[in-house]
Structure 1
Amino acid sequence: MFQLSRRTLLKSAAVAGAYGAGVAVLPRLSQAFAAPSPLDIEARIIDATLDGQAATHKVMSYGLAGAPSADPSPPVLRLKRGKPFAARLTNSLDEPTTIHWHGLRIPNAQDGVPFVTQPYVYPGDHFDYAFTPPDAGTFWYHPHCNTLTQMGRGLTGVLVVEDDSDPVFDGEVALNLRDFRLGSDSQFIAQFKPRDAAKTGTFGTVRTANWQPEPIYDVPAGGLVRLRVLASDVTRIYNLTLEGAEAMIIAIDGHPVPERTLLDMAVLAPGQRLDLALRVPDSEGALVSLQDIRPSTPKVVTQFRAVGATLKRNLGDLGALAENAGVEVDLKNATEVPLLLSATAENAAKDSICGTLGYSFWAINKVPYPGDTADPTAPIAELKLGQSYILNVENVTPHAHPIHLHGMNFKAVSSNKHDVTAQVSDTYLVLPDEKVQLALVADNPGDWVFHCHVIEHQKTGMTGYFRVT
């Protein structure tokens, strides 16, 4: 079990620089984490111990050239809001890949979707990404090629965009929550079962945080610690609760919440992120547990252990996060776009945006992508640059669908299931039988993918794109 002491963290901070290992305890003074430019990111195949028992072969991960690490999981990338960022992806896999920068509003050519925004990056080749992140917050990066296999085998990493005006925390822990499908011999088993792909999706057998079963992180007693929580699993929806301390929800999907509330239970679906301000207990050695209570038996995700003399901080001490651009929709003049999420009769599928699983189970507007239509790869809708739209999303299936929009943000304005807040987001969990209105301004030109982030649903039809011109 990976444990990193506060003393070790502080000692290694100068070495760690831009490369987060998932946890950082910061001094009270402001500290810059400028990523080198360009970063050399390698997609590679490695062996790694994921279940705490034995090494798993043919794991896929990202590594940074010139930054050797004992941690095999993808590094936490740290960028600065408004500062140019560049990265070269080198593909050392045995199949094509790309990088999609999930949640970032960047130029279309940098979005990392093959056949839509860029060509494949073939084995042994490279691709250069360059953009300036306009928003601060917690985001992530992953491939958009053969996504079920590549993400399922490890290619998911946390991406943090920092702002100098953010409040200073006493520590920070980035948590990448995900399953792996391993057999009793610690090796990969089939990534999905067709009967499960046609329902909620196929669940993993080994549950991890930062590629470790139930890790424990040391955090300063009595301090305020920022928890950046990412659900990068291909299937699992988390119901997160905290035991042993209080935490306040401060951001969702990278964007500050309109009103802070104490964490009771938060639902986090694949693709979504949750930022919490954790108030660590005062007593040294006290343990705090982050638990997933879905579906019935609570499961410890990770624990935090208080170390050192208490800092005696208070949640009320925490200043406001730096604001991001909002979604200022002209609701009176917004054009409505119908989006029906449904199941479809089982058919053999054609190659889609991200390949195929050989089945067609799901559809948008009754058409599984690509459709059996006059133009099977046509956009869902064509949007005019600068105009306001309301996506009328209706889920007529008995399963939840975390719907993600590339390149732009939206906010929910109404739902028949529950009250909504004006939260800026890029991924919304549409519940069974829910009708939700997602408002957006088409402010980023290009072809932007719109899909369910349960990857089996994405790859069996619940995918499409909007064209903004």
Structure 2
Amino acid sequence: MMSFSPDGPPPVLRFKQGVKTTIDVTNALQEASVVHWHGLRIANRMDGVPYLTQYPIEAGQTFRYAFTPPDAGTFWYHPHCNTLEQMAWGLTGVLVVEEAQDPGFDRDLPLNIRDFRLGGDGQFIDFFKPRNAARGGTYGTVSSVNWQVDPVYDLEAGSLVRLRLAVTDVTRVGAYEIAGAEAQVIALDSNPLPVPLPASGLILAPGQRADIALRVPDDESEEVRLVLNRPNGAKTMARFRPKGSSLHRDLRELKPLPPNPVAEPDLENAEILDFVFGWSPEGDAPQSSQCGSLGYTFWSINRVAWPGDLPGPFDPLARLKLGKSYILRLRNETPNDHPIHLHGVSFKLLRSNKRELPPLVTDTALLRSQETMEVALVADNPGDWAFHCHVIEHQKTGLAGFLRIGD
């Protein structure tokens, strides 16, 4: 049973690919909540979105989530009710689905990367500023990894370590790198890469993850750093120290990660659906909600602002036929970045008007300022699936909706 309370870091949850798991979530808060399993392609009723897939878990109540993860990789979990406040408290945890066969690492180390908004006295301050919510979002004041500032991890010298980076922050888009050691990016957003990438200049937005194969140096004097490169200078987020006699491992010893069983879209027969991410139409105002409202409406999808988490009924942004292939054309008409997350279905990056896109499979795509991106998917998971920006201030002020997959 998992107790959902803001008095300590959420645990790392480890599951096995293809093995059914059951989680009893007890809400120990003094307000409603739910848990969303970010990136997992599971049954709609287990997805953890208030009213869209389940009623909120009231204070003191327990809800049983049961699902079988079809994909291996690095995922995470968080509330989808009073989302900004509860995530700002720190209710964001890493979820690992292990492959059926051991890929050969000596250690597996999840890194939960997020900011907190704390004042000089160490106490929480306002979680957002309206003028920032209408722009790029409100940044935290203290950067952390696994709830610690600049933690140090002792690793066996010469060993191979799987670093699982999960950006569970509510706002920050950043460029990360591993400095001081040989390292490769082997998976992004839970999906293995066909060819590993250098572990530098790695852009990760809220909701995104990266698996990095680190070859720990042989000598104890050589320190390795996880670095966040910011406009105002580089910041060391975590450090890794070699310890003991070298194991003399080599990255080439690792087995390639097996691809997840994501259906390949039929691009020749795919239907194109257009989505415009922009400002809110004039006159929209948020409605009161059991799951919280920030009190503002700034954003919209296809000129419709999400009114908040309410019983509805609401119309979907689009209706997709079960089993059919689609190309989603995502157009950002704003000067701000939007990490766009689709629940329940993975999609493949196709093309952009701004940059070359690798053929990655993902559930969260970073849509840059004024960018138009096309992605493709097979609508193979029935239900009403949330579709929103993962800058939570944007999500909670209108930049959200849902897609309906059915017969």
Report the 3-state secondary structure (helix = DSSP H, G, I; strand = E; otherwise coil) of the residue aligned with 1:274.
strand
Equivalence for 1:297: 233
* Cα distance between partner residues in 1 of 2:255 and 2:3: 37
CA contact (8 A) 1:350 1:356 kept: yes
Aligned to 2:20: 84
Q: TM-score, normalised by structure 1?
A: 0.84
Match runs of 1:230-269 below 5 Å: 230-269=166-205
Deviation at 1:346, TM superposition (A): 7.3
Q: Which residue of 1 aligns with 2:101?
A: 165
Q: Which structure 2 residues correspond to residues 102-113 of structure 1 after superposition, within 5 A?
A: 102-113=38-49
SS in 1 for 2:233: coil
Counterpart for residue 153 of structure 2: 217
Indicate the larger mover: 352-361 or 231-240: 352-361
| Contact 2:6/2:90 (8 A) holds in 1 | no
Deviation of 1:263 after TM superposition, in Å, equals 1.6
| 8 A contact 2:179–2:226 mirrored in 1 | yes
For structure 2, list consecutive stretches of 5 or more residues without a partner in the other structure.
none
Which residue of 2 is the match for residue 270 of structure 1? 206
Return the alpha-carbon distance in structure 2 between the equivalents of residues 221 and 102 of structure 1. Answer: 33
> Which residue matches 2:314?
377
Partner of residue 22, structure 1: none
Paired residues of 2:33 and 2:291 also in contact (CA < 8 A): no
Cα offsets for 1:380-412 (capped at 9, x unmatched) = 001100000111000111111000000000011
Q: Matches of 2:270 and 2:6 in 1, distance apart?
A: 47
The answer on 1:434 being equivalent to 2:395 is no
The separation in 1 between residues aligned to 2:169 and 2:288, in whole angstroms, is: 23
Could you report, residue by residue, the CA deviation over 1:434-461 in whole angstroms, capped at 9, with x for unpaired residues? 1100100000000000000000000000
Give the structure 1 partner of residue 123 of structure 2. Answer: 187
- What is the aligned counterpart of 1:204 among 140, 151, 156? 140
Deviation at 1:419, TM superposition (A): 1.3
Separation of aligned partners in 2, 1:247 and 1:158: 21
Matched, 1:308 2:244: yes
Identity %: 53
Please state how far the C-alpha of 1:181 moved relative to its aligned partner. 0.6
For the 8 Å contact 2:341–2:389, the answer to whether it is kept is: yes
1:399 aligns with 2:360: no
Is the contact made by 1:450 and 1:465 (CA closer than 8 Å) also made in structure 2? yes
Correspondence for 1:43: 4
Shift of residue 295, structure 1, vs aligned partner: 2.3
Other-structure match for 2:215: 279
Is the Cα contact below 8 Å between 1:240 and 1:265 reproduced in 2? yes
1:94 and 2:30 matched:
yes
For residues 362 and 4 of structure 2, the distance between their equivalents in structure 1, rounded to whole angstroms, comes to 28
User: Structure 1 stretches of 5 or more lacking a match?
Assistant: 1-39, 47-71
Q: Distance in 2 between matches of 1:264 and 1:257?
A: 15
Q: Which residue of 2 aligns with 1:135?
A: 71
Q: Can you list the C-alpha shifts for 1:50-76, whole angstroms capped at 9, x where unaligned?
A: xxxxxxxxxxxxxxxxxxxxxx31111
Q: CA deviation at 1:100?
A: 0.4
- Do the aligned partners of 1:370 and 1:376 also contact (CA within 8 Å) in 2? no
Q: Give TM-score, length-normalised by structure 2.
A: 0.96
Match of 1:177 in 2: 113
- Deviation for aligned residue 1:353: 9.5
Which residue is 2:296 aligned to?
359
- TM-fit CA distance, 1:354: 5.1
RMSD: 1.5
Does residue 315 of structure 2 align to residue 389 of structure 1?
no
Q: In the TM superposition, what is the alpha-carbon distance from 1:351 to its structure 2 partner?
A: 4.3
Contact 1:113 1:353 in 2 (8 A): no
Distance 1:285 1:174 in 2: 24
Structure-2 separation of matches of 1:295 and 1:316: 35
The answer to which of 448-457 and 278-287 deviates more is 278-287
* 1:286 Cα deviation after fit: 2.0
| Corresponding residue SS for 2:169 | coil
Residue by residue, what CA displacement relative to the aligned partner does 1:6-52 show, whole Å, maximum 9, x if unpaired? xxxxxxxxxxxxxxxxxxxxxxxxxxxxxxxxxx0011142xxxxxx
Native 8 Å contact 2:300 2:399 kept in 1: yes
Describe the shift of the 1:354–1:416 C-alpha distance in structure 2 as closer, same or farther (beyond 3 A): farther
Against the structure 1 CA distance between its residues 169 and 356, is the aligned structure 2 distance closer, same or farther, given a 3 Å change threshold?
same
Partner of 1:122: 58
The code of the aligned residue for 2:54 comes to Q
- Aligned partner of 1:63 in structure 2 is none
SS at match of 1:128: strand
SS at match of 1:148: helix
